Structure formats: structure tokens, C-alpha cells
């Protein structure tokens, strides 16, 4: 049984810098459970944008430390990947009453990556760590409609870190 841990931008922002106890709690969790967090390419690009107003999240440090990695590009030719992509875009658009085409594709990349691995059999369970509830719930809903309802879990990034810290407290 292999489990995939897909991570969104918000979890890395919420962790703070490596000196922060939140970052250390997540790293500790990854190491003691042999977990590697996987970032869709678009999420990695978001995290490493050059914005002078912002202290960049330490994603490259986490990669160097070996508990985070960037996923290979999505295989859009795989029908389930594009279905998951479209499905999540529609789901998010619906929540906000805007056209699906307006929804950023990175929101849907989390679910698309999950779909790719589940259908290829390279993962049997997927956890999606995000701070965007619409993206997390959208991924669960759309993948359930593909028959993967029991295999996908949306983990609220804030709650995850709070839980880790309270058990370390």
C-alpha cells in the first residue's frame, strides 16, 4: 500500500521559516512517519515566486532536507487527469458563481495529480494538504465521482499543524 501526500502552497506558508516550531513540527512528522510531501509543479512555482514584499517560504530547504519533492509534470493525455482538472475547476467556480474557465488551474492540479497516481496504481491512498477548503473539498468530491471516494482525504493545513503542535505540546 502506498500513500501519496500532496501539498498546497498554504501548508508551506503556514509552517513559517525553519526556525519556527511549526516548520519543525511538520518536518518531524514527515521524518518519523517516513512521509514525503509532494508539490504539484504549479504549487512549487507559486512558492518560489520572486516578490520583494514577501519572505519566501523555505520550500527549497525542505526539498534539500529530503522530506519534500516536486512532482513530475501532469499527464494531461490521461483522460482521468483532465476530467479531474475540469471537475475541480467547475466545483470551485460553482462555489463562487463564476465561469469555470476563470478558475486557476493550479487549484485543480492537486486533484489531477491525485487522479493520475490513483488510476496508474502508483498510490492507493492520497492525502491533500491545503488551506483552501474549496480546493480540498472539490478534490474529494470530484475524485469520489471517479470511484476514489475512500482513497482521497482533504487535510486542512491549519488544523494539521495545530494538531501536530498540540500533541507535541
Partner 1 sequence: MSRTSNATDGDVVRDFLSVADLLEEPRLAQLYAYLAREGEATVRDVMTDIELAQGTAYSYVNRLVDAGVVEVTHDEQPQRYAAREIDLTVTTATGNREYTITPSLVDAVGRRETDDDIDIYIDRHGVAGLATALTYAVARERAEVTHRLMAEDLDISPLAAEMILQALRPVVHEYYDIDESGASLDELDIDDRDVADDA
Least Cβ distance, residue 114 to partner 1 (angstroms)? 14
87 sits near partner 1 (criterion: CB under 8 A): no
* Torsion angle (degrees, nearest 10) of CA 154, 160, 161, 162: 130
Q: How far is the CB of 76 from partner 1 (least distance, A)?
A: 19
Contacts of partner 1 in 124-153 (CB under 8 A): 125, 127, 131-137, 153
Instruction: List Cβ<8 Å contacts ≥24 apart for 157-160.
Output: 157/8, 157/10, 157/11, 157/14, 157/129, 157/130, 157/131, 158/10, 158/14, 158/131, 160/11, 160/26, 160/129
Q: Which is nearer to partner 1, 3 or 69 (CB)?
A: 3
Give the footprint of partner 1 on residues 19-48 (CB under 8 A): 28-29, 32-33, 35, 46-47
Residues 6+ apart with CB under 8 A from 21: 165
Stretch that binds partner 1, among 10-18, 69-77, 78-86, 114-122 (CB under 8 A): 10-18
Nearest to 142 by CA among 77, 81, 91: 91
Site residues, partner 1 (CB under 8 A): 3, 9-10, 13-14, 28-29, 32-33, 35, 46-47, 49, 51, 53-54, 56-57, 92, 95-96, 98, 102-104, 106-107, 125, 127, 131-137, 153-156, 158-160, 163-164, 167-168
Amino acid at each position: 500500500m502506498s500513500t501519496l501526500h500532496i501539498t498546497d502552497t498554504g501548508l508551506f506558508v503556514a509552517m513559517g521559516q525553519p526556525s519556527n516550531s511549526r516548520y519543525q513540527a511538520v518536518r518531524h512528522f514527515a521524518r518519523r512517519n517516513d512521509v514525503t510531501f509532494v508539490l504539484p509543479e504549479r504549487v512549487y512555482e507559486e512558492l518560489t515566486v520572486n516578490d520583494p514584499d514577501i519572505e519566501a517560504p523555505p520550500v527549497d530547504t525542505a526539498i534539500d532536507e529530503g522530506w519534500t519533492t516536486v512532482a513530475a509534470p501532469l499527464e494531461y493525455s490521461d483522460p482521468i487527469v483532465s476530467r479531474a482538472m475540469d471537475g475541480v475547476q467547475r466545483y470551485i467556480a460553482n462555489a463562487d458563481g463564476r465561469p469555470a474557465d476563470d478558475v486557476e488551474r493550479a487549484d485543480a492540479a492537486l486533484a489531477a495529480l491525485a487522479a493520475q497516481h490513483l488510476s496508474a496504481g502508483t498510490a492507493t491512498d492520497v492525502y491533500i494538504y491545503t488551506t483552501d477548503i474549496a480546493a480540498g473539498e472539490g478534490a474529494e468530491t470530484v475524485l469520489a465521482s471517479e470511484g476514489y471516494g475512500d482513497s482521497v482525504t482533504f487535510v486542512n493545513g491549519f488544523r494539521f499543524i495545530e494538531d501536530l503542535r498540540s500533541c507535541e505540546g
